[in-house]
Amino acid sequence: MYPPPPPAPRQDFISVTLSRGESYDNSKSRRRRSCWRKWKQLSRLQRNVILFLLAFLILCGFLSYVHMADQWKALSSRPEEEQKMKPEVPGLKPANPPVLPAPQKAGATPEDSPKMWPQKSRKHFRRGPPRLHIKASNSVSKDGTQDDAREPEAPPRDAPQEENTQHAVISWRGAVIEPEQNTELPSRRAEASAKPYLQAARMQKEPLPPNERQRGVIEAFLHAWKGYRKFAWGHDELKPVSRSFSEWFGLGLTLIDALDTMWILGLKQEFEEARKWVSQKLNFKKNVDVNLFESTIRILGGLLSAYHLSGDSLFLRRAEDFGNRLMPAFATPSKIPYSDVNIGTGEAHPPQWTSDSTVAEVTSIQLEFRELSRLTGTKKFQEAAEEVTRHIHSLSGKKDGLVPMFINTHSGLFTHPGVFTLGARADSYYEYLLKQWIQGGKKETQLLDDYLKAIEGIKTHLLRHSQPRKLTFVGELAHGRFSAKMDHLVCFLPGTLALGVHHGLPANHMDLAQALMETCYQMNRQMETGLSPEIAHFNLYPRGDRQDVEVKPADRHNLLRPETVESLFYLYRVTRDRKYQDWGWDILQSFNKYTRVPSGGYSSINNVQDSHRPEPRDKMESFFLGETLKYLYLLFSDDPDLLSLDSYVFNTEAHPLPIWAPT
């Protein structure tokens, strides 16, 4: 027996009667009556469904109206790219607040300051200072790229300034803005919002007017900028002697590298003009190979810090676009990135002669990629960069924390093992261990462990004293053989050691920092021009006729590098010993005397040991403006809150990035 079939399930439905028009009565009352009757005939479920749909449609309509209204407003004012951040504009995404007041002309009085926008006070329900917010205009194209690929033109000598370019600058004398971020991956936080464009770190008090030495730096910067602006505008590097330019990536390298320096030095007009170039001419849709490391530290780092200081979201959009174009470099069998990537085609590759990458290069992009993830909420940047850190942490082939110089992108193993240096190809590996630890709020202990171990490794294997003055220096080790050779690049180390001590690392690191600082100064001082050679050799044996520092003919050039003055800046910040400022002043005088080109710009020189014929090299590296002059300016400041070491960490190209969770 089969059970009786179940009753047919009840189906709710809406019946609609279509009028054929024969008895069409257009009277309102009849239509109202019949509508009402039909409504009453519906089941409760049917009515609820209709009401819900209606409510949903009304909500959608309202939201799209608000969205459209914003867009209309943006379109009807001035061109999108000219939009600058404005405070507290409803409906716009928050950007970080600028950390320093908008740049002023050198020597400007406080009355010349641009109008400061007061921050709306907000209620806060916890202890500590209030969280402050600023909202930025976000009205430009989503990917932030420019379609205009035309070759940029040189600016007119007295190019009119953009109109309506007032920055939304907030001045909070001494006020502190707490960061809202932490060291978690964005994915673990609110990944829900696609691009949170998180707020930056803190506001600081207004900088003091520049002192005499700082004005000397401003003068030097303006002289360098004059040459760049006149002969190399929008190109990578100035060739000051031939009054032309050279290209490396074709991305306005010097201009981008110098953005935050202009902001810090208070050069408003120059900053605005450069900002306009970034807005209108910077074009990443280019079939061009870039070096992952160099473009990360200079371009990505430069854009991110320009964003943090100015609060102008244009720079963040450009940074995100550029970061995306670098990502194909990580698509290798080992996840150790290739050295080069084409930002137009997305093809990445190692150098022609090898499938190796340089250890310093693959381990010195993390500060920038991590920060880009934090700001955009897109975790892939941070994940790709940190994968490299983890991999290298677990790799064998180190010597008491010291790493070889090369790593293979296929096998992921160190190559050319047994050679250890703190100079080229390894230097910033050590620097970024410490700085990532600081950036992340001193929680990532693996980074700290690797750093501390490496410093002990340096002491054990690479440290020696010269004769006759017993200068402490860092040499190199090749298959067990010590070489008393030290690149000028190694002069980043005293500063990094001092930075670590500032953040609570062992006091004996400071002894080493001070000893190495003296050595780096002597590398400059003992040369006829007062400028360091690219590489120095130290005399290990007592012989009356020999100095501590010796230079080989192939090594006696100076490329306007920053490392000595970078370390002087940290040493002065930590010790407040004015001799470091004096040493930096000596070096600035030497740059002015031997590398300054009268028509504008500064030039690398071929021979630091010949004060009569230093032989200009016809190239002004972008880091002279991005790093050397910036560190000199900061060195001469007596204000520890000017880019405080407790709030910022400088990338290896001197671009300040906020510490996520300061302690």
Active-site residues, by number, are 294, 427, 534, 563
Is residue 339 involved in binding ligand DMJ (CB under 6 A)?
no
**CB-based contact 658:308 (threshold 8 Å):** yes
CA distance 626 to 225: 11
In the bound state with ligand DMJ, the residue whose beta carbon lies nearer, of 140 and 489, is 489
Phi and psi dihedrals of 40, rounded to 5?
-65, -25
**CB-based contact 106:218 (threshold 8 Å):** yes
Is residue 557 involved in binding ligand DMJ (CB under 6 A)?
no
DSSP state of 298: I
How many of the other CB atoms lie within 10 Å of CB of 69?
Answer: 11
In the bound state with ligand DMJ, the residue whose beta carbon lies nearer, of 329 and 654, is 654
Is residue 623 involved in binding ligand DMJ (CB under 6 A)?
yes
The only residue of 450, 534, 548, 653 in contact with ligand DMJ, by rule CB under 6 A: 653
In the bound state with ligand DMJ, the residue whose beta carbon lies nearer, of 96 and 595, is 595
In the bound state with ligand DMJ, the residue whose beta carbon lies nearer, of 12 and 247, is 247
Report which residue type is found at 305. S
**Which residue, 534, 514, 498, is CA-closest to 423?**
534
| Binding string, residues 514-553; x marks residues near ligand DMJ by CB under 6 A | ----------------------------------------
In the bound state with ligand DMJ, the residue whose beta carbon lies nearer, of 106 and 489, is 489
Shortest Cβ distance from residue 182 to ligand DMJ (Å)?
Answer: 28
Sign of the Cα pseudo-torsion (283, 304, 182, 331, in order): positive
Residues in contact with 73: Cβ distance below 8 Å, sequence separation at least 6, in sequence order: none
Token code pair at residue 423? 């100079």
Residue bearing tokens 């930075």? 499
Residue nearest to ligand DMJ (CB): 652
Shortest Cβ distance from residue 434 to ligand DMJ (Å)?
Answer: 14
> Which pairing describes strands 406-408 and 656-658: parallel, antiparallel, or unpaired?
unpaired
Is residue 307 involved in binding ligand DMJ (CB under 6 A)?
no
Shortest Cβ distance from residue 257 to ligand DMJ (Å)?
Answer: 9
Q: Which helix (H) or strand (E) holds 440?
A: none
In the bound state with ligand DMJ, the residue whose beta carbon lies nearer, of 281 and 425, is 425
**What's 172-203 look like in SS3?**
CCCCCCCCCCCCCCHHHCCCCCCCCCCCCCCC
Is residue 569 involved in binding ligand DMJ (CB under 6 A)?
no
Is residue 619 involved in binding ligand DMJ (CB under 6 A)?
no
In the bound state with ligand DMJ, the residue whose beta carbon lies nearer, of 325 and 488, is 488
Shortest Cβ distance from residue 624 to ligand DMJ (Å)?
Answer: 9
Shortest Cβ distance from residue 213 to ligand DMJ (Å)?
Answer: 22
In the bound state with ligand DMJ, the residue whose beta carbon lies nearer, of 180 and 555, is 555
Shortest Cβ distance from residue 504 to ligand DMJ (Å)?
Answer: 24
CA distance 16 to 67: 35
> Which pairing describes strands 348-349 and 340-342: parallel, antiparallel, or unpaired?
antiparallel
Shortest Cβ distance from residue 618 to ligand DMJ (Å)?
Answer: 18
How many of the other CB atoms lie within 10 Å of CB of 478?
Answer: 13
Shortest Cβ distance from residue 454 to ligand DMJ (Å)?
Answer: 16
The burial of 612, by beta-carbon neighbours within 10 Å (0-12 exposed, 13-18 middle, 19 or more buried), is given as: exposed
Taking phi over 0 as left and psi of -120 to 50 as alpha, with beta for the rest, 168 belongs to beta
**CB-based contact 283:249 (threshold 8 Å):** no
The only residue of 235, 561, 617, 619 in contact with ligand DMJ, by rule CB under 6 A: 561
**Which residue, 645, 658, 579, is CA-closest to 183?**
658
CA distance 338 to 328: 9
Query: How many residues line the site for ligand DMJ (CB under 6 A)?
Result: 8
How many of the other CB atoms lie within 10 Å of CB of 453?
Answer: 15
Shortest Cβ distance from residue 493 to ligand DMJ (Å)?
Answer: 12
In the bound state with ligand DMJ, the residue whose beta carbon lies nearer, of 427 and 548, is 427
**CB-based contact 430:377 (threshold 8 Å):** no
Shortest Cβ distance from residue 542 to ligand DMJ (Å)?
Answer: 33
| Binding string, residues 428-467; x marks residues near ligand DMJ by CB under 6 A | x---------------------------------------
In the bound state with ligand DMJ, the residue whose beta carbon lies nearer, of 327 and 424, is 424
Is residue 302 involved in binding ligand DMJ (CB under 6 A)?
no
Phi and psi dihedrals of 537, rounded to 5?
-115, 140
Residues in contact with 537: Cβ distance below 8 Å, sequence separation at least 6, in sequence order: 484, 485, 486, 549, 550, 551, 552
Is residue 562 involved in binding ligand DMJ (CB under 6 A)?
yes
Of 485-504, binders to ligand DMJ (CB under 6 A) are 489
3-state secondary structure of 284: coil
| Binding string, residues 370-409; x marks residues near ligand DMJ by CB under 6 A | ----------------------------------------
Is residue 652 involved in binding ligand DMJ (CB under 6 A)?
yes
| Binding string, residues 402-431; x marks residues near ligand DMJ by CB under 6 A | --------------------------x---
The contact set with ligand DMJ (CB under 6 A) reads: 428, 489, 561-562, 623, 627, 652-653
